[in-house]
Every structure is written in C-alpha cells, then in structure tokens.
Structure 1
Amino acid sequence: MTDGPSGARVRAACLAMALSVVLGVGAPAAASGVDRTLDEAAQALARGEDQRARFLLEQAVASAPDQAGVWVALGRLQLRTGDLVAAEASVERAIEIRPRHAPALALLGDVLRADGRLVEAREAYDLALEANPDDPLAKAGRARLHLADGQLVAAAALAIPADDRSLSLRLAWADAQANAGDLRAAIGKLDEVLAQNPAWMEALLRRGDFARQLGDHAAAHRDLELAVRLDPTSAEARYRRGLLRRDLRDLPAALEDFNRAIAIDAALAAAYVARGSIYQAAGQQAVALADFDRALRADRLHSDALTHKATSECAQGAFEACLDASAVALQARPDDWRAQVAKGHALLGLDQPEAAVGAYALALGQVDPEEAHWLLARLQRHLLPRLSNQTGVAWHFVAAQTPEEVAAVMAAASTQGRNGR
C-alpha cells in the first residue's frame, strides 16, 4: 500500500522508539562518543532522515563492534529500508555476540517474517520471549503472526501495551478483524489509531474502504477524500476513491480515479480490474478484456482479474477461453462463486448442460444471499429447458426457499444425469 508522508513519519517515530528499547536493554556501557552517536541516530530517525541515521549507526558499529545493541540498531534501520540481506547479517552478528539477546532475536523474527519465512520467524520470536517474556518487540512480532493466522484471542493474550509503539500492530489487528468479516470492529480499531495520528494514510485508506463495504458512503467519502488531499500521488488512495465512486454510480469520476491510479502505478492490478469491470458492465467486452489482461501481466494469479476475464470471454462466446480462465481462478480461490458461475456458463455454451449443473450447484452453495435471485432466474431461463429431468427440477426451484436447498436439488439432478436417467 502507498505510504504517505504522515505514514512515513509514524514509521520513523516507531523505529526510533524501537531503537531506544533495543539500546536500553542490558547492553554494556558504551563509550560516551558512541552514546552520542546513537542519540543522534535516534533523532535523525525521528525526523525521517534515514540516510543520516544509517551513516551514524555505521559509525557506531565501527566504534563498538562488540556491542550487540548497536548491531541490532543498524539491523532495524536496514529492515526499515528493505535491505533484508544486510539486516539479517547485522542481527546474526548481534546474536553471535549475545546469543540470548531478546531484542536481537525479536529483530531476527521481524526480518524472517518480512522475508516470508514464517515458521522460522515464529521460532525466533519464541526464543526472544524465552530470553525476556516482557520484550515489547518480540511480543508485537509474535502477535502479528497470530493476527495473520486469524488468532485474535492468542494475539490479545500477549497484552501489547496501547502506546505509540503499537500503532502498526493495531493496524494489523484491524486487518485481522476485517479478514474475519467483522468490519465494524476493524473500524473501531482504526478509530483508535487515527485518534493518535489523524493523517495516517494507511489507516485512513483502510477505514474508508471498510466503511464503503458496509455501505456507509458518507464516512467512506470523508476518509478517502482526505487521503487524496494528503497525498494526491497515492495510487492506492485514487483507486479506493474510485471504488467508492463506482459504487455511487459516478462512473466518469470513477474512471478518472482508476486512470490516475494506473498512471501513478502501472503495476496496480486491482485498478485495471476495477476499470475493466466498468467497461464489462457497459458491454464493451474487448476493452474490458484488455484491462483484465493488463492486470494479469502485473499479477498472473489475481483471482478477480481471472474471474472477470472468464465472464467477458463467455459474453463474447469464447467458451473454451472462459473455461480455462475460470479453472485458474478457482485454483487461486476455490470459494469464488462468480468463477463457478462463469464455469457453468462456459459449460452451457459448450453444450454440456449436465456438467454445468455441477458448477452452478457449487456457486449456489457459496453465493451471497442478495445475488441468489439473479442467479436462480438465469438458471431457470437458460439451464432448465436443456435438462432432461427439467419438470422435477423446475418444481423444486419453485418450492425451494433458500439457495442451499436449490444447490442440493441441482446436485441431485447432476448425479442423476451422470447415472443416465
């Protein structure tokens, strides 16, 4: 996600606080010159002057190469700037000096987590907590892993203090709540974050988008407009405001935002998908497909792009291509009911109505309730006349009260078809 100026300041302040924790935990007394250098580095970090801070920390390491805390401070900065190889080398040097140095082990966990090595990261955090059960950085890192796994109770048990150092952790907490489907709780957590930093872009964008998903367009508009004003060059802010404008049916304004987002970040796959969906709904399938293909060049397994591509291929009568795209989409996200519908359409177009029944049955078992009537109407119109047991299935369609019941009936019909009625 794009990080605006306010977000950068928050990250810098959090890192400066983290370094103050690291340098204050049990390190041997350093020479006064090294102390002054470390103080200057922390001040530079708080101002967001990364290059100046790195220069000072490298000086400190050269002056005190046997102090684990100094190596950890340098590693923290290297991690912040995305230099994972250098950060891992620095933390390994710190652990060589002090094998049970909790801040060093916590940093190792952070580096491994950033590199996607989550099992090793968990082990590093656990070792840090064995060395010091109250280490705030180790607790925060371990809590983030719990949140990534959706384990909110386990994360809460770590009792992270609600101070400035936990702002980014609260952001992760909000993401976990949203992923669990509790958007209102996620917004409440973001309210806490934004009460401390009202202009933090990442939090604003999340809260605005969650409000949009809940249909609170006024709240979404407030946050997303502010985000665009704070950083007009943020592709993510333009994209999310475009989604809101699309929901409000202000399609010219939505297209303007998506176009601007793509101009800023040509690799933002979601913006291509959003723009393509507008053209798709307008019946401009060739234009839409071009956008979906651009999205897939940026992210070849983007499930929404694959699903939309399959739908447009079917609309153009390219049923084989539709079937291929829907199959890949379902590999990426097996519970994508829209991809199941596209697969059903493709099979129907290829004159395989009995196979289509199976795909539609799966879709009906996963469909959003508000979409069920639309899907059922389509099936009655296009599918039932082509099934040999149409009378019995049609009666069940009329009698069925829920999509789940219809899905069960269709699954039974599919089984009968395979068994040769």
Structure 2
Amino acid sequence: MTFRPSAIALLVALALTGCSGGQSELAPQSGPASGEPVLTRLLGRADEAMAGGDLAVAGRLLDEARAIAPENADLWVAIARLRFRGGEHLTAIEAADRALQLGPDHAPALLMRALMVRDAHGFADALPWFEAALAVDRTNADVWAGYAATLGDYGRYRDMLDAVRELADRAPDDRRIFYLQAVLAQRGGRPVLARSLLERSGMAARGVPAAVLLDALISLDQGNHDSAAQQLEVLFARQPANARLRQLLARALLLSGRNAEVVERFAAEAAQPEASAYFAMIAGRAYEQMGDRARAAPLLERAFAASSAAPVALADRPGLPEPTADLRRRSAAGDWTGARNMAQDFRIRFPASADFAQLVGDAALGGGDAAAALEAYAPAARMRRPWHLTRKAAHAYRRTGDDIAADTLLARHVAGEPDNIAALAALADALAVRKEWERAALLLDHAIALGGGHDPALLVSRGEVAHALGQNDAAERFATLAADLRPPALTRR
C-alpha cells in the first residue's frame, strides 16, 4: 500500500508559517518605510536582532526607538513582532492594535493584523486584511507575498498565481517569487519544475525552514526518500517537538527501507492513544516489514479503525522543554490536580502567552472540567486556532452538552481552512449524526479528493453516508476501496 497524504494538505501554511507555526519567516522582509533617520536605523537594527534570535537586544533597541517616536506605527508593528517572538502573544495583539490606531491606512500594520487573523481565524477571514493593505499600498512586496501564500492555502490557486505575478512586477529580485511559484508547481503535481524554481529562490540552500520542508516533499514525490530523510533530519534537529515533522521523517525513513530506525525512534510514540492513525500505520508497516507481525497487528488495527476517540489533552512526547514535559508526565500518570496547579503557575508567570493559556485548558479538560477548559482556550484562540485546539475545544463543548457550539466551531474551522482533511472528516461525522447526509457526502468527497482516500476510516464513513442516501452502488464501491487498503490476514502470532 502507498502512503501518500495530499500534497496540498502537506503544504498548507508552508508559504507563511514555515514549520514552526509562528509568524512568517518569509514576510516581512523589508524594513520600516517611514520615520526619522535615527528611528529608521534603530528599527532596522531591531529587525536584524530579531532575525538573529537576539530578542533582548531587539527589545533595548525598540525601547530607544520608543523614546524618540512613541506614536510611530512602524515602531508598534516591530513591538508586536518582538512580543510574538518572545511568547507574549496577547500583548502582541495589543501592540498590533496600537499600530492600527496610529496608522489605520498603514500597510505594514494591516499586514501584521492579516497574519494574526489568519492564525486565529483562518485563511478566509485574513484575505480582506491583505486586500485592505494592498488598497493603501500596491507596491508593498511583503503584502503581495503574504496575500499570494494565503490565497494558495485557501485553495485559490489561479488567484495565487496572479498575486505572484504582481509581486514579480513590484519586486522582480524578491526570492519569494520563485519559492511561491515552486509551491504552486508542487501543488500542481509538477515536482521537477518545483525543484527548479525552489533552487532559483536559493531559500532552501539558506536554510529557510519552509523551503527546506518543500524541498523534502519534492524529494518524497520524486522517490528520493533518502534525500528527503536527510532534509527532514535537519529540520527535526531544530524542532524536535514538532509532531508534523516527526511523522514526515518517519514516513521518509520507512520509504527508505530503514524499518529498524522507524521502530527504534517512533514506535513507542506511535503506539500512544493520541498518535494519529497515519503515524500508527507507519510504525505498524515498519514492524510488518521486519517480520514482527505481533507488534504490527495492534498498530495497524488502530490505524484502520474509525477515529472517534476523544482528543488527548496533554500528550507526552520527546523534545519538549523540561517544565512542559514535567507537566505532561504528570498528566500521563493521572495526576491531573498536579498538572492543573503547574499549568496555572505557568499562566501566572506568563500571563500574555497563548501557549500557556492552552496548557491550562488542556489540564482542565484532562481533569474533567470542560467548562474551565473552554474558559482557558478562549484567550489562546485569540492568537492562534490550529486544528488540534479546535478539536479539543469542540470536544469540550460536547462535554458541556453544547453540540451546536461544537458543530459551529468545526464549521468555522473548515470555512477558514477548507483543505484540512481531518477537520472535513470531523465536520462530516457531526453532520452524519444529525442525518444531514448530503452535506456530509460533499465534505467527505472533498476530503477524498484532497488525498484522504488513503484513510480507510474515511472511506468507510463515505460508504455509510452513501448507504443512508440509498446509493447502494456507491456504498459498495467505497466499502471495496476500504477493504483493499486493509492488510491481508494480519493476526497476532
């Protein structure tokens, strides 16, 4: 069986967020556009310090700049970026709002808000902010780059191409032109062209995480599995707690025939309840190819089962910072009181962090207090609402008996991120419970078209929906497709 998640799904958010889930590593690239020469130099040096990871120096430089021109919109954009980089997510929003108050028609401030809205509410809600920025400054290359990437993430590829062409007209030497064209080429199933364009950008060679990840995906698509594994190892060394990278690296190693390495590094994690069905399948296949059918069987059985389990609130996984790892170990041991106390302590020490607000919610959810979890998730969602947070919040709503709120939250996520296969399947399941079969069928068909056809549970769900609609031939076809994906006569020995 071939494991091949949709190239579109794997590239979602590449163009703006890289691998880290934070604000863009690709935009903005330009320095402040207005202000006195001294202020401009200070802001430029602060940008350089942030790019180099020296946030303390950047903070001192911005303090100097604030003493010179406290009402400057560029200054507050820079402050917002610094606060975000430093984990002060909620005060970063305040700084971005201050920049917009000082410059409601200031393109960099509108761009900052567009990036924040995209992270918190999805691609659809962010597009008007990019368009507002372009309405006041059509020459801003950073806005065109962000707009193009967001259009692509939203599935509007023709519009993305038009935006990339506008970027090329405004800034013909901008490296992002070739990178964004490479993303389009890969999404269009043209990996050779994508590789050529990516090389012309020079961004993978410079180690830009999003570009290195795209390079690895191209290598996987071309069958260069060892090369892909090497590229992913580079990223994995920098972000060992990144679950997405772990799964991609495990896949590359499996396709390279390095089954023992997959088992040694990832099998224990893949066996945990919170691991994705796909991750469990990778580890199961590695065991199977090593001839260890006893260990392969439970992993493959879970991979092929319907994914209806509740989300695991605080999963322990390698690579996390020690304080967070300790909290997760407490939860894994069932010490939810200790985990909640520790999370609350973090929240008190870092009140502006959306990440620690989410930890408080996770600890409350794991401890059975769904209402407290929702209260904690609310400030976290103001900054970012990734799928895993939406899924946990929807589960918390259901625990409080509010299925309508849960379904609405799922629908909003799908509207903002329409190519998220897991979100599409979850919303389809919710609609099926309400017997809204036709809408469920549309969602599942879209998920299958995006690459979800490799998921037997999704195919089973689609067959059940077809049967409910009286489409017996279609139901039989989907059942056959799901059966074809199952391993033959896999039993424990």
C-alpha separation between the residues in 2 aligned to 1:130 and 1:107? 15
How has the CA–CA distance of structure 1 residues 158 and 88 changed in structure 2, closer, same or farther, with 3 Å as cutoff? farther
Q: Describe the superposition over 1:156-214 as per-residue Cα deviations: whole angstroms up to 9, x where unpaired.
A: 332343556x44x7555544433333333333333234466343444333322332233
8 A contact 1:74–1:87 mirrored in 2? yes
C-alpha separation between the residues in 2 aligned to 1:334 and 1:184? 25
Match of 2:189 among 160, 178, 181: 181
C-alpha separation between the residues in 1 aligned to 2:209 and 2:104? 38
Q: Describe the superposition over 1:23-46 as per-residue Cα deviations: whole angstroms up to 9, x where unpaired.
A: xx233x37x4x5564354233224
Question: SS state of the match for residue 49, structure 2?
Answer: helix
| Structure-2 residue corresponding to 1:246 | 254
Q: CA deviation at 1:101?
A: 1.7
| Structure-2 residue corresponding to 1:333 | 447
How has the CA–CA distance of structure 1 residues 162 and 222 changed in structure 2, closer, same or farther, with 3 Å as cutoff? farther
Tell me if 1:52 matches 2:57.
yes
* Letter of the 2:311 counterpart: R
Matches within 5 A, 1:159-198: 159-160=167-168, 161=171, 163=173, 166-167=175-176, 171=179, 173-194=181-202, 197-198=205-206
Bigger RCO of structures 1 and 2 (CA < 8 A, at least 6 apart): 2
| Structure-1 residue corresponding to 2:477 | 361
| Structure-1 residue corresponding to 2:400 | none
| Structure-1 residue corresponding to 2:110 | 105
Match of 1:122 among 99, 117, 127: 127
| Structure-1 residue corresponding to 2:157 | 150
Matches within 5 A, 1:284-295: 284-289=296-301
8 A contact 1:234–1:261 mirrored in 2? no
How has the CA–CA distance of structure 1 residues 175 and 85 changed in structure 2, closer, same or farther, with 3 Å as cutoff? farther
Matches within 5 A, 1:376-387: none
* Letter of the 1:38 counterpart: L
Q: Describe the superposition over 1:298-322 as per-residue Cα deviations: whole angstroms up to 9, x where unpaired.
A: 5569968999xxxxxxxxxxxxxxx
Higher helix proportion, which one?
A: 1
Q: TM-score, normalised by structure 2?
A: 0.53
How has the CA–CA distance of structure 1 residues 188 and 81 changed in structure 2, closer, same or farther, with 3 Å as cutoff? farther
- Segments of 5+ residues of structure 1 without an aligned counterpart are 308-325, 379-421
C-alpha separation between the residues in 1 aligned to 2:173 and 2:163? 16
Match of 2:34 among 10, 26, 39: 26
How has the CA–CA distance of structure 1 residues 43 and 226 changed in structure 2, closer, same or farther, with 3 Å as cutoff? closer
How has the CA–CA distance of structure 1 residues 358 and 97 changed in structure 2, closer, same or farther, with 3 Å as cutoff? closer
Matches within 5 A, 1:4-403: 17-18=29-30, 20=31, 22=32, 25-27=33-35, 29=36, 32=38, 34=39, 37-81=42-86, 83-148=88-153, 149-151=156-158, 152-160=160-168, 161=171, 163=173, 166-167=175-176, 171=179, 173-194=181-202, 197-217=205-225, 219-221=227-229, 223-224=231-232, 237-259=245-267, 270-278=278-286, 282=293, 284-289=296-301, 297=311, 330=444, 333-335=447-449, 336-337=452-453, 338-339=456-457, 342=460, 357-362=473-478
Q: Paired residues, what number?
A: 333
Question: SS state of the match for residue 139, structure 1?
Answer: helix
8 A contact 1:84–1:115 mirrored in 2? no
Question: What value does the CA root-mean-square deviation take over the aligned residues?
Answer: 4.9
Q: CA deviation at 1:49?
A: 0.9
C-alpha separation between the residues in 2 aligned to 1:268 and 1:340? 13
C-alpha separation between the residues in 2 aligned to 1:197 and 1:296? 41
| Structure-1 residue corresponding to 2:7 | none
Provide the identity percentage.
Answer: 22
C-alpha separation between the residues in 2 aligned to 1:290 and 1:269? 7
C-alpha separation between the residues in 2 aligned to 1:61 and 1:35? 12
C-alpha separation between the residues in 2 aligned to 1:96 and 1:84? 19
* Letter of the 1:210 counterpart: I
Question: SS state of the match for residue 199, structure 1?
Answer: coil
* Letter of the 2:298 counterpart: A
- Segments of 5+ residues of structure 2 without an aligned counterpart are 1-12, 313-387, 392-409, 411-419, 426-439, 489-493
Q: CA deviation at 1:133?
A: 1.3
